[in-house]
């Protein structure tokens, strides 16, 4: 990859932080859009909900990576928090897409975040990027999220929608609480454990994003998931085995509903997703299995 000037949103998050470190280590120039007053030379101000950003900071940018969005599992899904989940993604993406489209020399690529929640509950059915959208709040959110990139696409920018799965990391994201639970000896499957979890290691997530920056032929939806999705029960067994902790306490559906509210339905839904676009484009996964993904994450 030749060095580039790259704009990133969500640069302080689970994925954004290591991505920025990785790009900087290879000499890329970063512009990090932040919602507060800039404190560093590489920071620029934006307000995704208000639809404003420092357009001067985009000058000379060759690629944009959008990772911003409120945490799906950070709070109960009240009406207000569901609005925040939507606005932080859809309005933020639309703000970037409009700014990109208005540039005299727009970036060549816009990598926009999305999620495997796009597919809804797929049960045991293996789905690829050609599958239609599912139903439910997260699926509808992902549809709006991806549609918000339209101005950039219409301006001729290569746009890829990164449909990320469950990122296996010991801190943060959907997997962080699982590591904490197992380390305290209270880990266990969720519900009946038969629901599929399409996971990806944090390192493969970063590598896939970097791969897409240079993959000129790839546009549209791209599943960022490992090629071997597992059931929740299989993931639980891998956690128990590799962390050397018992998996004694299955969490029944009613308990999850009591703690998580509506979000519990998505925790218990099944998404068996294959990364066909990445595989056909030549991307090689460092951690294609759940054992490898958990093993590398436990040291993180």
> What integer pLDDT is reported at residue 247 of this predicted model?
76
> What integer pLDDT is reported at residue 116 of this predicted model?
96
Taking residues 98-103, what's their average pLDDT?
96
CB 53 within 8 A of CB 95: yes
299 pLDDT tier (thresholds 50, 70, 90): confident
pTM of the model: 0.94
Between 243 and 168, the more confident residue is 168
List pLDDT tens digits, range 198-211: 999 999 999 999 99
Q: What is the dihedral of CA 274, 281, 19, 137, to 10 degrees?
A: -40
> What integer pLDDT is reported at residue 190 of this predicted model?
84
> What integer pLDDT is reported at residue 257 of this predicted model?
65
CA distance 23 to 4: 9
CB 114 within 8 A of CB 221: yes
Q: Which helix (H) or strand (E) holds 208?
A: helix 202-214
Closest CA to 175 of 245, 262, 236, 252: 236
Q: What is the dihedral of CA 283, 277, 287, 15, to 10 degrees?
A: 100
> What integer pLDDT is reported at residue 183 of this predicted model?
81
CA distance 92 to 43: 17
Q: With both helix axes pointing from N to C terminus, report the angle between 232-243 and 176-183 in degrees, rounded to the nearest 10.
A: 50
Share of the chain above pLDDT 70, in %: 93
Between 90 and 177, the more confident residue is 90
List pLDDT tens digits, range 137-167: 999 999 999 999 999 999 999 999 999 999 9
Closest CA to 247 of 165, 185, 193: 185
**Residue 185 phi/psi, 5° resolution?**
75, 20
Taking residues 126-142, what's their average pLDDT?
96
Which pairs count as long-range contacts for 171-178, CB under 8 Å and 24+ apart, including other chains?
Answer: 171/14, 171/300, 172/13, 172/14, 173/14, 174/72, 174/73, 175/199, 175/297, 177/73, 178/239
- Which residues, at least 6 apart from 240, have a Cβ–Cβ distance to it below 8 Å? 182, 187, 246, 247
Question: In this model, does residue 226 exceed pLDDT 70?
Answer: yes
273: CATH: 3.40.50.720
Domain count, the chain: 1
> What integer pLDDT is reported at residue 269 of this predicted model?
86
230 pLDDT tier (thresholds 50, 70, 90): very high
List pLDDT tens digits, range 7-53: 999 999 999 999 999 999 999 999 999 999 999 999 999 999 899 99
Query: Which residue range forms the structural domain that includes residue 257?
Result: 5-297
CA distance 96 to 31: 13
Between 243 and 32, the more confident residue is 32
CB 167 within 8 A of CB 202: yes
Q: Which helix (H) or strand (E) holds 30?
A: strand 29-34
Share of the chain above pLDDT 90, in %: 76
């Amino acid at each position: 990859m030749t060095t580039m000037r790259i704009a990133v949103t969500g640069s302080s998050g689970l994925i954004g932080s290591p991505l920025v470190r990785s790009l900087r280590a290879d000499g890329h120039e970063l512009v990090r859009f932040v919602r507060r007053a800039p404190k560093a030379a590489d920071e620029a101000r934006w307000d995704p909900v208000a639809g404003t950003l420092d357009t001067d900071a985009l000058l000379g940018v060759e690629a944009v990576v959008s990772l911003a969005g409120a945490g799906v599992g950070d709070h109960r899904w009240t009406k207000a928090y569901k609005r925040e989940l939507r606005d932080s993604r859809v309005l933020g993406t639309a703000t970037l897409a409009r700014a990109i489209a208005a540039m005299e020399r727009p970036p060549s690529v816009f990598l926009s975040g999305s999620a495997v929640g796009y597919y809804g509950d797929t049960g045991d059915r293996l789905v690829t990027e050609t599958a239609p959208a599912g139903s439910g709040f997260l699926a509808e959110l992902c549809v709006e999220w991806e549609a918000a990139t339209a101005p950039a696409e219409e301006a001729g920018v290569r746009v890829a929608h990164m449909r990320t799965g469950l990122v296996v990391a010991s801190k943060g994201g959907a997997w962080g609480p699982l590591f904490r639970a197992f380390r305290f000896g209270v880990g266990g499957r969720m519900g009946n454990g038969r629901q599929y979890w399409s996971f990806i290691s944090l390192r493969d997530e970063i590598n896939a994003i970097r791969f897409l920056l240079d993959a000129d032929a790839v546009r549209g939806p791209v599943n960022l998931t490992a090629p071997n999705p597992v059931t929740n029960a299989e993931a639980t067994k891998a956690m128990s085995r590799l962390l050397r902790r018992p998996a004694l306490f299955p969490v029944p559906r009613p308990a999850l509903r009591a703690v998580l509210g509506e979000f519990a339905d998505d925790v218990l839904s099944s998404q068996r997703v294959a990364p066909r676009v990445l595989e056909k484009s030549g991307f090689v996964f460092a951690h294609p299995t759940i054992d490898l993904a958990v093993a590398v994450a436990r040291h993180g």
